[in-house]
Structure 1
Amino acid sequence: MDTTVADTLIGTTIDGRYRITGRVARGGMATVYTATDQRLERTVALKIIHPSQATNVHFVDRFTDEAKTIARLTHPNVVAVYDQGRHQGLPYLVMEYVQGSTLRDLLTQRRRLNPVEACAILEQMLSAIAAAHRAGLVHRDVKPENVLVAEAPSGGQANLVDAVVKVADFGLARAVEASSVDDSGQLMATVAYVAPELVTDGRADARTDVYSAGIVLYEMLTGRVPFDGDDPVRVAWQHVDNDVPAPSDTVKGVPKALDDLVARATRRDPGARPTDAGAMLAEVQSVRDDLGAANVQTALLRQVPQSRHAAADATAMVPAVTDRPSWARLPEQARNAQTYRRGDPDLRPAGGTDRRRVLLSVAVAVMVLVVLGSTWWVTLGRYTEAPPMVNMTKQQAELYARQHNWELFYADGAYSESVPKDTVVSQKPAPQERIVKGGTITLTLSLGQERFEVPDLAGLELAAAKTELAQANLKYKDGAGQYSDTVPEGAVLATNPAKGTELKRGDTVTVVVSKGKAPIQVPNLVGSNVNDARNQLQQLGLTAVERYKDSDQPTDTVIAQTPKPGSGVANDAEVTLDVSKGPPQVTVPDLTNQQCQQAQQALQQMGLAVQVVGFNPNGFVRGQNPPGNTPVAPGSQVVLQCF
């Protein structure tokens, strides 16, 4: 217990109920004390958050929510949460007090554990984490410091196989994730145990805990972590860039089955690991059974030529790894009723060399038969091949399991481009792999094709747009900026593909950002003469594009423009001018030799002015100006010469 520094909370009664009696440890986020629950008269552990964290509202809210969730998680290998509240504004948790030490303390004392001890501790760790995974929780910080090894009822921890293991700090790990990030915005868990996907993507799921548990197993077997160094960032990236080495590379004699287990749990691709702690627990139990059977068979067969007592002593030296006290049994593990004991002294012969030899021969024969029979059952008899269930629908798989007495467990679903939704995309154990008859098969169902909609980013600042794309599992690409009279500079103007388009995970979205209003303001040129408008645009560094149209306005008058007056444009931009061609022209008909008065009436009806000259206004047209078939503006004058 840490008592080196005076602590004002020691001796204080919290909430009128919990009297603090001592300090256990102080961490980066909280301090743990022992306290007496004066209402129930029991010793508890009280964890209170540091004042520096109490100002982080997000952290406090997440810490409180997670505490409530963990309090509902009842499991013999999970440190129970009894109560939560606030003391002088600081959130606290009241938890089960575990008399013992952490796995870190044990490794410091002993450096490393033997394979049977390591498997025994790992089983209980995974049993606790599997319960959390079934409840939808991820620990995110599995490490020896968060694994408590309780003293056995007989006292002490000499026999780690019979010790009770409890996992702590589920809630605190997630609350830390919500508030403690590095400069890149990613959670940096304890780097020696951090999974690659947590380093690269900042995301965690059940397989992240499996990876960390694999690193803890490696450390229990070797006495060291696979990656270490002074720079935490470099250590974290070693998990991304390198495979975890086999424990037997460091410690000779580690069974190959444990090398393989570490390799499967710590694969860099999360999809290649056991789907969750429950799946890894099944593998550990199978490996542990195999290790125990192999040890029993080897020890007994070596003693067959020796005396009966020597053979019995060899049997007693091998721990019965599948036989544990009732208080230390795991709910997931089926127990083997067979135990190996020393020979019964009552069977010893009363006398006579021949009789002793006969009895010894019979005893040895019976012992060999028992060993061979037990070994056959442990290694072969109770096992069969896992059936192929990949590509079955969920309904088909459940029907098949009922008909053939299999138990099914569903892992988190996986997206697939080719396997339809609710169809088995993978299974554990794989088809034809060894499995206990009537055992549990873990199925992963397809979630169908994974698609993400392009979010509506229009008008967002660039930083917010990047965050939206990251949350939608899409990648950002910088597009060419464009000027805009309506969207402020630095805000998103458009995306390609457009909003609402469905894309695959990791697809790229090009974002066009507004450069703000263009630097040159277009003047109002409507009503100006086209020559004046052209000169004005040239002085501004703009180019005039002219389109002539019929109009009631005078010829060469600007009647419209694009862009509109006041718009911003860049240098050398084009401004389109609609220019009047004047009113539509009228074609003067050829009136020669027509009666003068009729010709005059025809011209007037066409909107033309008429002037008659000559000696006989009532005569015939002998000449006209302008001549026939000449186009003229409406209202123009036509001179008729009548004789």
Structure 2
Amino acid sequence: MDIQVADTLLNTLIDGRYRIRGRVARGGMATVYTAIDERLDRTVAIKIIHPNQAQAAQVQLAGFLERFTDEAKTIARLTHPNVVAVYDQGTHGGLPYLVMEYVRGRTLRDILAERKRLNPSEALAILEQMLAAIGAAHRAGLVHRDVKPENVLVAEAPSGGAGNLVDGVVKVADFGLARAVEASSDTEGGNQLMATVAYVAPELVTEGRADPRTDVYAAGIVLFEMLTGRVPYDGDRAVEVAWQHVDRDVPPPSGLVPGLPPVLDELVRRATRRDPGARPTDAGAFQAEVQVVRDDLGAVANANTAILRQIPAVDQPTMVVQQPTMVVSSVSPTNRPSWARLPDQPRERTTPHRRRAAASPGSDLLDRVREVGGRLFAGRASVVVTVVALALVAGMAGWWFAFGRYTETPSLAGLAGTEAKVQAERAGFVIKFADPRYSEDVAKDQVLAQDPESTSRIQRGGTITLTLSLGPERFPVPDVVGKTLDLAQLDLENANLVLVRGTDRYDDNLPEGVVIATNPKVGAEVKPGDKITVIVSKGKAPISVPVLVGKNINEVRDIVRDLGLELSETYKDSDKPKDQVIAQSPQDGAGVEKNAQVKVDVSNGPPAVNVPRVIDLPCQQAKQLLESQGLAVGVQFNPNGTVRIQNPNENTPVPPGTQVVITCF
């Protein structure tokens, strides 16, 4: 039977700022949640160390927290587009946590679970961005120590294609987390191995040490898994898998996937050598090798494409032979972002976006027309060409300023704020956010309004102002019980609520004119303008209910009638005497109005006892039997004789305590 335990952190407010909304993933050392930063109104990810992991790592709590804080500061300095940014850190309930950038996408593990394996273009594109992130950490003196698909996030590609991994944005998470736990464990005198055995480097297994080449090894294993759909080693126990990294060389990927280019086998072999000194010195060096491989494979693909285009078409039957060779899409080095280029690669000449958007196409058109005119005409004909060119430029400029520089505003209403921002910026617009507003119809964090409105004209590259929804406005009914009616009305008006006075009633505890109840109740969620019915006390009622318990019902009837009250009687079995009142409501001393109903429970008396047969029994035995039934016994004539007569007779029902007379002789 499966037992699901509710996560007590859900909807918790951490540090008075971060509201936990949902659990994203649970790993070996920590759990990741999505949360809302209520101070900045943005979605973040919060990673909280597991209690068992924290306890195992912090025999000295202060030392652990100091190490964790230092690691968080180091990670926060890694401002790199492929590193998951760290915004904040702290402790909650004694458990350290990190507040990080929330990446909308999937982990590389999720992608491999769906796709099994990737083609070389996709694998190298992801690996290159991974190494860019890890290389930035290495330059900052930080070793990741736990490189694996679970710590690699792949966001949606800028082109928008769900399956386009080549253009996807890759971000690496969990820098230094394993190091913080491991370093704190070392203070205990232990040597805890904080790594995933499928990707652990040999030196971590044998010596427990790690440097940048340890991350290079793990990245090589990740490349192997992306190309083949599996890790190189497996086993029944984790220790068996770990020691295979020490005792065996990683096999070539092409042995599992025929047709992979040999250069990929060499790339995996270089990164996963058992001797750390034979590997690339750090992730930056490995990235340079990966870029060279991508360029070489891309050049081969371009050459093959060019040769195929030069082959003339022949209208004859042609046999197509499938060669077991995989094609890697070409990547132009100059199209890479600046952080991913090799040092000797030329930089792409760029123009600021706004300048490109504002530039008139007239100058380019004029140059082209003059060039053509110079080739076709000479002398006087050039004058004609110039006049025509100027007319065309004037016409194009007029069209540009009147129509061409404008486009239609996209419809963003109803989208989530982050999604609307991504779509608008992808289309070249600048997004600003106005103050959010409450809405009964639009969910929280969705676009409530936009300016300019959708389908209206807007300049290309212009600014769109979005107003996000705070969701329906709800707040609790203020606590006005115990306050005078005037103060209660003031509190409700300040809360934008409408007071409606209900029927006043007597109350034994609150004086006249004080609120004794509300409808809806205090604390219930209401919206602005709702009506709140208040019940006001009339003070203590004029009639005080007397003590009725223990009195005979006939006496009680007279008392209640004289007070002008109504009596309700309920008869129940009881060990109390018959017709005695055994309970009352309201209790004695309570105040009631005239004609109010008073309820009493009346005793039916003890249950009857059937007299047993004692005739022909010895007199003393008969006496004991009758007394055991709760009956009194009277003996006549000879107490040592035999019972000849009994009164009442056998099986006669009588009240408990009734005397039975026996005649003995």
Q: How high is the TM-score relative to the length of structure 2?
A: 0.47
